[in-house]
């Protein structure tokens, strides 16, 4: 069932009773529908984050801290809750747990890019040259866009307008301070074949959160499907039992 939170600022899929005890946050270019089997039978809301699903785009190029602030406004009437976050949604969950700990009882994270173990690759030389020329007004924007389409990631190419600006901003963010500030219990579940947020980077992130538990699922990748979905639900149920004892 569709529900509105924070006076309509966020839309979400609702299961179970009110108030929810679980809030689910989806990945980039995904929606709250990803969590239907994970939160089945629970009192939960699966958020459609701004710019995804049926929730309108943010008015400006938000970072994950802005998304966390919007989420805090939605949770304040009924928190604290357990957050379950996948990929981009996990970034937002970590920001919220670090900045508003009174709203977060626990975290289940999966496939979340939180630390980088190697330096980010530089854009191709030709792209950098065209970008510089475009900034100087020496080549038209159409030439720059053609280079972007040639060298950009699938997510970058699919994003338009303010959502592309958000993606660029988020990819460059750092979460080191936030990880150190998270005090709620954390369970991390990673697909061993995840190439978007590699498991070794997830394990490294877990060492920066006091008491975090890390579990790797063989044969699973980045998306919430198959054995990874089952494992995330299992960890969520176990965490709910832990924090409610």
Residues 162 and 178 in one domain: no
Q: Give me the chain's average pLDDT, please.
A: 90
Whether residues 112 and 142 share a domain: the answer is: no
Q: Examine the domain organization and report whether 132 and 162 are in the same domain.
A: yes
Last residue of a domain, one of 167, 199, 234: 167
**Residues whose CB is less than 8 angstroms from the CB of residue 157 and which lie 6 or more positions away in sequence, other chains included:** 148, 149
Same domain as 185, residue 99: yes
Residues 40-94: tens digit of each pLDDT: 999 999 999 999 988 899 999 999 999 999 999 999 999 899 999 999 999 999 9
Domain CATH number, residue 221: 3.40.50.1820
Is the pLDDT at 139 greater than 60? The verdict is yes
**Cis peptide bond upstream of 191, omega within 30:** no
Q: Do 152 and 84 lie in a common domain?
A: no
Boundaries of domain holding 143 = 125-167
160: Cβ contacts below 8 Å, ≥ 6 apart = none
Q: Is 43 exposed, middle or buried (0-12, 13-18, 19+ CB in 10 A)?
A: middle
- Report which of 64, 72, 17 is spatially closest to residue 45, judged by C-alpha positions: 17
Strand partners of residue 190: 216
CB atoms within 10 A of CB 244: 10
Domain end call among 167, 196, 228: 167
Within this chain, do residues 71 and 154 fall inside the same structural domain, yes or no?
no
Residue 126 CA neighbour count, 13 Å, CB half: 10
pLDDT tens-place string over residues 24-41: 999 999 999 999 999 999
Quick one: 39 and 155 in the same domain?
Answer: no
137 — pLDDT class (breaks 50, 70, 90): confident
Same domain flag for 23 and 85? yes
**Virtual CA dihedral for 176, 158, 60, 3, nearest 10 degrees?**
-90
**131 and 113 both lie in a single domain:** no
Residue 12 bridge partners (DSSP): 3, 47
pLDDT at position 138 is: 74
Please state the domain count of the chain: 2
Same domain, 96 and 195: yes
113 and 150 inside one domain: no
Report how far apart the first and last C-alpha atoms of the chain are (Å, whole number).
Answer: 29
Question: 55 with 11: CB under 8 angstroms?
Answer: yes
Same domain, 131 and 35: no
């Amino acid at each position: 069932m569709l529900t509105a939170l924070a006076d309509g600022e966020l839309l979400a899929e609702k299961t179970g009773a009110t108030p929810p005890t679980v809030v689910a946050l989806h990945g980039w270019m995904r929606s709250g529908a990803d969590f239907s089997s994970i939160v089945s039978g629970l009192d939960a809301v699966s958020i459609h984050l701004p710019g995804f699903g049926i929730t309108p785009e943010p008015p400006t190029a938000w970072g994950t801290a802005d998304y966390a602030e919007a989420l805090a406004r939605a949770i304040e009437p009924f928190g604290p809750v357990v957050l379950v976050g996948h990929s981009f949604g996990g970034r937002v969950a970590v920001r919220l747990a670090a900045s508003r700990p009174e709203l977060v009882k626990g975290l289940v994270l999966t496939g979340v890019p939180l630390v980088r173990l190697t330096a980010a690759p530089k854009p191709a030389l030709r792209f950098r040259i065209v970008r510089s020329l475009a900034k100087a007004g020496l080549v038209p924007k159409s030439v720059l866009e053609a280079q972007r389409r040639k060298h950009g990631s699938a997510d970058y190419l699919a994003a338009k307008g303010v959502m592309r600006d958000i993606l660029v901003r988020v990819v460059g963010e750092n979460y080191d301070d936030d990880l150190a500030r998270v005090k709620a219990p954390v369970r991390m579940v990673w697909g061993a074949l995840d190439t978007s947020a590699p498991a070794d980077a997830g394990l490294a992130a877990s060492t920066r959160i006091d008491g975090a538990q890390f579990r790797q699922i063989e044969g699973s990748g980045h998306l919430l499907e198959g054995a990874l979905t089952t494992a995330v639900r299992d960890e969520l149920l176990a965490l709910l039992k832990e924090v409610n004892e």
